[in-house]
Structure 1
């Protein structure tokens, strides 16, 4: 079985567990619940009036759609896309439960999204734990450019490649490189059998992930004809990616006084 199909089956199986782990139904029921704070803050200076209100947004790799719902609650008209049919079905149900008619979901790969959706958007957004599932960022960036209207804005917000290269099983507080940083070399195979959200064992345990350094991220976006307007490195991350991280108001961060490295990055680009 090819790596993409293997990953899709794994993500299909994750969906019920993630609905519980994210408390997604309670999130849908609460009209005041809004996530993706960092995305809104980073995007704001690049949007008309600093707001998503009234804009057409496509959210790539949306999973079960909680962040997509958050974008709609910020006033956007949103389409979420994902490779997993189970995720799209659940996201559609959650949006209906939330009473959000301006949200829809479509099952598609990133590369096929421009043809499947057949239209363009003011904003393309993809965030948190997405790039590692892509084998090649060049077709991804070209698809983003095709999805954007002239003048449209793109945001990717994801784990920083430096953080991803750290030895993730250390519990002594030391930041030690132990995984690949630079792109290339093919996918890494994992057979953990559990998701990051719980200890549930899965039948479709195998996943494949790819390493993408910042040079590849920047180079792919620029090669697609987009103009980079902003780049940020962040000290917090939404999940406990390393044993030494401690909780904070914005997620998880390295303990005060410890060695530092960026945990997340965000990049804003615009189509001419």
Structure 2
């Protein structure tokens, strides 16, 4: 397969205006409240710790709401994404907020070439990012290449167990690969993960799952030291409509309404480059 990036980018490019306009991304709240943080970043503030003064990069940053949230916590942030409309929206948001945050259009595999080697104290990536890349080992090499000695990777992502399941009526069943496969999974799905009246024409995507052991091993093989793994029974969006309930007290996280402990929905993983 040689065209997965072009196909996926077309889907993401088309959805950017709907995401910017959606209340789910809280652009208005960012502009009206100088202390506002994205729900994804707010959830992980206790695990992030003090990032004041760190040089950070957010890979696959989309429209930049998590990126500017990290900047508001004190890091000097850059963002990178393959979608020009997303980067335009992200840079516009940062500029309106008065943040010295720079954004770059590039494929994640080209990040070291674009941003420079060993320049960052923090590499951050958020929910719904690495499922778009086919080779987790190559991604881990990129992360290691970006980090300074002593630098840290911080990732909050959908759990591979959740990505491997689907809702059938009121049941959740195993349907998709848990482990990385060469060809991945092709989806033909209209709409998007936020509420919108917009209609889309670019509805084909190529996704890949990566098992937890595959991710950790890839990072270790790239020379990073595994630090911690926390699995969560919640996600920052409704992954299974009709089967999940929002917890307003937990940064707007969604969890299964019945027996949420039966499925890990997301995880937070940290690793570092030896000093």
Could you say which residue in structure 1 is the equivalent of 2:143?
144
Aligned-pair Cα RMSD in Å: 1.6
Normalising by structure 2, we get a TM-score of 0.91
2:73 match: 74
CA distance in 1, matches of 2:144, 2:88: 27
TM-score, structure 1 normalization: 0.92
Aligned equivalent of 1:47: none
CA distance in 2, matches of 1:211, 1:157: 15
- Residue 14 of structure 1 aligns with which residue? 15
The answer to whether structure 1 residue 86 and structure 2 residue 89 are counterparts is: no
1:92-112 deviation line (CA, Å, top 9, x unaligned): 001111111x21101111221
Q: Distance in 2 between matches of 1:152 and 1:258?
A: 34
Cα offset for 1:65? 0.3
| Residue in structure 1 matched with residue 30 of structure 2 by the alignment | 27
Gaps of 5+ in 1: 45-50
2:189 match: 192
Question: How far, CA to CA, are the matches of 1:90 and 1:259 in structure 2?
Answer: 37
Matched residue, 1:224: 222
Matches within 5 A, 1:1-272: 2-21=3-22, 22-35=25-38, 36-44=41-49, 51-100=50-99, 102-119=100-117, 120-167=119-166, 169-172=167-170, 174-199=171-196, 200-243=198-241, 244-248=243-247, 249-250=249-250, 251-255=253-257, 257=259, 260-272=262-274
- Conserved 8 A contact 2:162-2:264: yes
Deviation (angstroms), 1:175: 3.4
Segments of structure 2 that go 5 or more residues without pairing to the other structure are none
Distance (whole Å) between structure 1 residues aligned to residue 67 and residue 261 of structure 2? 34
After superposition, give the CA deviation of every residue in 1:37-74 in whole Å (9 maximum; x if it has no partner). 23332222xxxxxx011111101010000111100110
**Pairwise CA distance, 1:11:** 0.7
Where has structure 1 moved over 6 Å in runs of 4 or more?
none
CA distance in 2, matches of 1:176, 1:92: 40
8 Å contact kept, 1:29–1:97: no
